[in-house]
Amino acid sequence: MSAEIRHISVVGAGLMGHGIALEFAIAGYDVSLHSRTQASLDRARSEIQLSLDKLINFELVTPERGSAAPDRIQATTVFEKAVEDADLVIETVSEDLALKQQLFQRLDSTCPEHTILASNTSSFLPSMLAANTERADRILVAHYVNPPHLVPLVEIVPTAQTSDETIETVVDLLTGMGKRPIVLHKEVPGFLLNRLQAALLREALWMVENGVASPQDIDLGIRSSLGRRWAVAGVFEIFDMAGWDVLKAMTTAVNPDLASAPDVSQLVKQKVAAGELGAKSGKGFYDWTPESAAALRQRIASALVEIEKWESDRE
Active site annotation includes 155? yes
**Candidates 23, 91, 155, 187; catalytic one:** 155
Please say whether the beta carbons of 51 and 19 come within 8 A: yes
Active site annotation includes 134? no
Per DSSP, 223 falls in state I
d(CA 286, CA 109): 46
The total number of residues shown for the chain amounts to 315
d(CA 283, CA 251): 35
Closest C-alpha to 47, from 68, 65, 20:
20
d(CA 312, CA 254): 36
**Candidates 9, 23, 122, 187; catalytic one:** 122
**Candidates 194, 203, 265, 308; catalytic one:** 194
User: Following CA atoms 13, 24, 177, 182 in sequence, which dihedral angle do they give, to the nearest 10 degrees?
Assistant: 30
H/E stretch holding 45: helix 38-57
Active site annotation includes 122? yes
Q: Can you tell me whether residue 16 is helix, strand or coil? A: helix
Q: What are phi and psi of 265, to 5 degrees?
A: -55, 135
SS (H, E, C) 241-296: HHCHHHHHHHHHHHHHHCCCCCCCCHHHHHHHHCCCCECCCCECCCECCHHHHHHH
d(CA 6, CA 12): 19
Q: What angle do CA 249, 196, 225 make, to 5 degrees?
A: 65
Active site annotation includes 255? no
Rg of the chain over Cα atoms, rounded to whole angstroms, equals 21
Amino acid type, 11: V
**Candidates 7, 18, 34, 143; catalytic one:** 143
Please state, as a whole number, how many other Cβ atoms lie within 10 Å of the Cβ of residue 45. Answer: 16
The residues annotated as belonging to the active site are 122, 143, 155, 194
